[in-house]
């Protein structure tokens, strides 16, 4: 008979402390279950007593099976990286590994153990979330708390707090999550950043944004007032955060919890927990709640928010410190030496397109996520803040001699342009964009803007201060999504028509401190040709300064060379202009290189793969 039943996989992640309440949740599932379904409950754990396992297993029915899965072996290698705080344990992260752990399932439910069901959980499972990664309901506590709203938009990076979901009730499209390489993306972000407010829930929101089917809140109703929802419509109650009926009396919707708790053999233990929950513990709950709000405020203030008006120098110094600690853009000398060896190998093999520092898995930029032209009020505000803070950051880099610009040649070539233009530059350092920004600020232009084309991953992956700049400082992110790229192209055309400038790195790859020009790609020149605007070649040369950076290498002195604009020829096709402008750009860079370094441009690449073939 079971062969004809619909299998509903349901996952929980708990430790010993939550077993009594898990029993209540399972009891609520049993009472609302259907004989037409087979409910497969899997409890993921690292620390549960054998006695507790036996007592939970007693809840099994003909149509409900319970399996305990010890994840100690799986979690051991990364357990030290899993940040925990207050009410949370490492078990809360287990849901993030389900796509990999259970390849036999294409779809499953994940539920926290502080919930009760008033409806058949199969109804939740059967909701069609299409090709989205997750189905989840908006987090009501976030929606009711202004600082949390601000935090999830500024720090986590969701487009609106209304799209920020609670991760305690999830419909998981395991098949699509595997196709999306979700676990690889999570482990990458885990190395790069720590979400300290909602932890794994923040990671899920950051990685899956744009691909979440929002559920009705009746499937994740929390003990917060919402007059528009009759009690009879509530299908699942989630006693989230400190709203635990086994700790406090008079918790909203507590009647549902006790209804099911009374039918478990854990009822005496649960009542004892409530009876012995001391005033000191309640004060501690209040303190934790206050601390969490303060933490969210602090995290938000660290992302370009000037409302507190600390001294600019102190704030920029904090940003510099955070930037050095939280990003891998500045490595120690051993890593740099390995990168230089890899660059040498890639040059010999003619693989100029490949980054020696491997790109991390990229979170796709979906349509509508990037407000390219800053048309929304929130985008305008964030751009103003980001540009102001970014300017202060640049000045501090210059003041500290962490960015040393010795000379800027050819400013008159920028000043001569009356239309929009594409600026091209060699790419050899994550912060070479600040050198171009410095040159742009030296022009006569007061109203022109400089937009920067950036990689998709720089926009979607980067945390903290630097990520905030990437998303808001007049950047134009590329995307692996075709529809998003249509938005990109439309924005680029508008910007150039408005007579503003766009910086594009036509070499594609970033080779650290590489002095030679690399082969150029067509994109920048095709855009210029189609929009009938010039390309302005910029080439940055460098010398060692007498200062040693934190990577163990001398900080470079930059010399910025701005060449005469290369205009499209009206008698040539777009394709012909693209090739012509690209070739002239490379020749400009070659001449600058040879004059500055006083040597011919040569490559270790075999002759047939040499970039010099482009200009023959």
Q: What is the CATH number of the domain that holds 115?
A: 3.90.550.10
Distances (CA, A) of 79 to 9, 84, 190, 195, 201: 26, 10, 11, 15, 17
Q: Beta-carbon neighbour count of residue 350 at 10 Å?
A: 18
- Evaluate whether residue 33 is within a structural domain: yes
pLDDT above 90 covers a percentage of the chain that reads 53
Q: What is the mean pLDDT of residues 200-213?
A: 89
Establish if 23 belongs to a structural domain.
yes
Instruction: Specify whether 252 is located in the same domain as 165.
Output: yes
Q: Cα(327)–Cα(300) distance, rounded to whole angstroms?
A: 18
Measured CA to CA, the distance from residue 405 to residue 394 in angstroms comes to 12
| Residue 412 belongs to domain with CATH number | 3.40.1130
Residue 326 has pLDDT above 60, yes or no: no
71-75, 87-91, 436-440 — which is least confidently predicted? Answer: 87-91
Query: Do the strands 134-136 and 169-172 form a parallel or antiparallel pair, or are they unpaired?
Result: antiparallel
pLDDT at 88 (0 to 100): 39
439 and 565 both lie in a single domain: yes
- 200 pLDDT tier (thresholds 50, 70, 90): confident
CB of 539 within 8 A of CB of 425? yes
Same domain for 68 and 110, yes or no, is yes
Same domain, yes or no: 103 and 218: yes
Q: Name the one residue in this structure whose structure tokens are 């150029």.
A: 520
Choice among 212-226, 367-381, 452-466, 598-612 with the minimum mean pLDDT: 452-466
The pLDDT value recorded for residue 325 is: 41
Is residue 463 within 8 Å of 440, Cβ to Cβ?
Answer: no
**Residue closest to 428 by CA, chosen among 516, 361, 342:** 516
* Mean pLDDT in residue range 399-413: 91
Domain contains 305: no
Is 90 exceeded by the pLDDT of residue 304?
no
Is 103 within the bounds of a domain? yes
DSSP 464-518: HHHHHHHHHSSEEE--SSHHHHHHHHHHHHHHHHTT-EEEE-TT-S--TT--SPP
- What does the alpha-carbon distance between residue 291 and residue 61 come to, in Å, rounded to a whole number? 43
Average of pLDDT values for 309-313? 40
Residues 295 and 341 in one domain: no
34: in domain = yes
Is 321 inside a domain boundary? yes
Which of 275, 299, 323 finishes a domain?
299
In sequence order, the 6+-apart residues with CB closer than 8 A to the CB of 472 are 304, 379, 382, 383, 385, 386, 387
Q: How far apart are CA 460 and CA 477, in angstroms?
A: 9
| Residues 269 and 358 both lie in one domain | no
Q: Residue range 417-424: average pLDDT?
A: 96
295 and 318 in a single domain? The answer is no
Q: pTM for this structure? A: 0.58
Longest dimension (CA), the chain: 89
Asked if 424 and 538 sit in the same domain, the reply is yes
End-to-end CA distance of the chain: 75
Tokens of 69: 């899965």
**Do 178 and 237 sit in the same domain of this protein?**
yes
Do residues 318 and 217 both lie within one domain? Answer: no
Q: Are residues 344 and 468 in the same domain?
A: yes
User: Contact 524/577 with Cβ under 8 angstroms?
Assistant: no
Residue span of the structural domain in which 402 resides: 313-615
Final residue before a domain boundary, out of 274, 299, 324: 299
Average pLDDT, integer, range 286-295: 80
Does any domain span residue 304? Answer: no
Count of other CB atoms within 10 angstroms of residue 4: 7
Query: Given 299, 330, 358, which residue is the final one in a domain?
Result: 299
Tens of pLDDT, residues 13-55: 888 889 999 999 999 999 999 999 999 999 988 789 999 999 9
The CA angle 124-198-309, to the nearest 5 degrees, is: 140
Is 483 found in the same domain as 366?
yes
Tell me how many domains the chain contains: 2
**Would you say residue 306 lies in a domain?**
no
Question: Strand 404-409 vs strand 554-562: parallel, antiparallel, or unpaired?
Answer: parallel
SS3 content of the chain, % helix, strand, coil (to 5): 45, 15, 40
In which residue are the tokens 């408005």 written? 498
Confidence of residue 495 (pLDDT cuts 50, 70, 90): very high
Strand order through the sheet with 475-477: 404-409, 554-562, 535-548, 421-425, 501-504, 450-454, 475-477
Sign of the alpha-carbon torsion through 53, 81, 189, 139: positive
The mean pLDDT of the chain is 86
Whole-number Å distance between alpha carbons of 523 and 506: 7
Residue 268 C-alpha from the chain's centroid: 45
């Amino acid at each position: 008979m079971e062969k004809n039943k619909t299998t509903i996989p349901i996952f929980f992640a708990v430790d010993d402390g939550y077993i009594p309440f898990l029993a209540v949740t399972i009891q609520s599932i049993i009472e609302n279950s259907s004989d037409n379904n087979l409910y497969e409950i899997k409890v993921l754990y690292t620390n549960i007593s054998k006695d507790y396992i036996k007592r939970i297993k007693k809840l099994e029915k003909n149509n409900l099976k319970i399996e305990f899965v010890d994840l100690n072996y799986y979690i051991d290698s990364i357990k030290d990286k899993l940040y925990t705080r207050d009410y949370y344990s490492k078990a809360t992260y287990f849901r993030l590994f389900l796509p990999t752990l259970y390849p036999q399932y294409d779809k499953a439910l994940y539920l926290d153990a502080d919930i009760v069901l008033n409806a058949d959980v199969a109804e939740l499972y059967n909701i069609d979330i299409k090709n989205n990664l997750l189905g989840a309901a908006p987090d009501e506590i976030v929606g009711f708390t202004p600082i949390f709203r601000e935090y999830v938009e500024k720090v986590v990076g969701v487009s609106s707090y209304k799209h920020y979901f609670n991760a305690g009730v999830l419909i998981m499209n395991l098949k699509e999550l595997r196709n999306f390489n979700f676990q690889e993306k999570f482990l990458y972000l885990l190395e790069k950043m720590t979400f300290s407010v909602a932890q794994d829930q923040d990671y899920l929101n950051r990685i899956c944004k744009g691909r979440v089917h929002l559920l009705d809140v009746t499937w994740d109703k929390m003990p917060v007032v919402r007059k528009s929802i009759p009690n009879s419509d509530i299908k699942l109650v989630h006693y989230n955060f400190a709203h635990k009926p086994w700790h406090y009396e008079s918790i909203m919707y507590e009647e549902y919890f006790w209804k099911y708790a009374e039918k478990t053999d854990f009822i005496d233990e649960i009542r004892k927990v409530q009876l012995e929950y001391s005033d000191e513990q309640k004060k501690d709950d209040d303190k934790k709640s206050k601390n969490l709000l303060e933490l969210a405020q602090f995290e938000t203030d660290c992302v370009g928010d000037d409302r507190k008006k600390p001294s600019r120098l102190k704030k920029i110094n904090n940003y510099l410190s955070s930037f050095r600690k939280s990003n891998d853009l500045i490595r120690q000398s051993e890593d740099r030496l390995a990168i230089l060896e890899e660059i040498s190998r890639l040059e010999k093999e003619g693989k100029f397109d490949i980054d020696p520092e491997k790109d991390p898995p990229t979170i796709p930029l979906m349509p509508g996520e990037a407000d390219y032209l800053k048309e929304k009020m929130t985008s305008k505000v964030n751009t103003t803040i980001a540009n102001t803070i970014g300017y202060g950051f640049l000045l501090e880099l210059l003041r500290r001699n962490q960015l040393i610009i010795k000379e800027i040649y050819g400013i008159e070539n920028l000043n001569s342009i009356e239309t929009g233009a594409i600026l091209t530059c060699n790419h050899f350092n994550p912060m070479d964009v600040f050198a171009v920004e410095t040159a742009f600020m030296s022009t006569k232009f007061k109203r022109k803007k400089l937009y920067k084309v950036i990689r998709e991953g720089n926009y979607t992956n980067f945390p903290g201060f630097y990520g905030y700049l990437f998303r808001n400082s007049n950047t134009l992110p590329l995307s692996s999504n075709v529809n998003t790229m249509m938005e990109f192209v439309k924005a680029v055309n508008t910007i150039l028509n408005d007579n503003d400038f766009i910086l594009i790195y036509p070499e594609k790859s970033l080779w650290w401190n590489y002095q030679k020009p690399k082969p150029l790609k067509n994109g920048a020149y095709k855009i210029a040709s189609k929009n009938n605007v010039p390309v302005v070649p910029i080439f940055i040369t460098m010398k060692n300064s007498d200062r040693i950076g934190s990577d163990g290498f001398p900080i470079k002195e930059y010399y910025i060379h701005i060449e005469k604009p290369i205009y499209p020829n009206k008698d040539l096709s777009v394709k012909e202009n693209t090739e012509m402008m690209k070739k002239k750009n490379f020749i400009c860079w070659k001449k600058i290189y040879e004059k500055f370094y006083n040597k011919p441009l040569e490559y270790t690449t075999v002759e047939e793969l040499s970039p010099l073939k482009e200009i023959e």
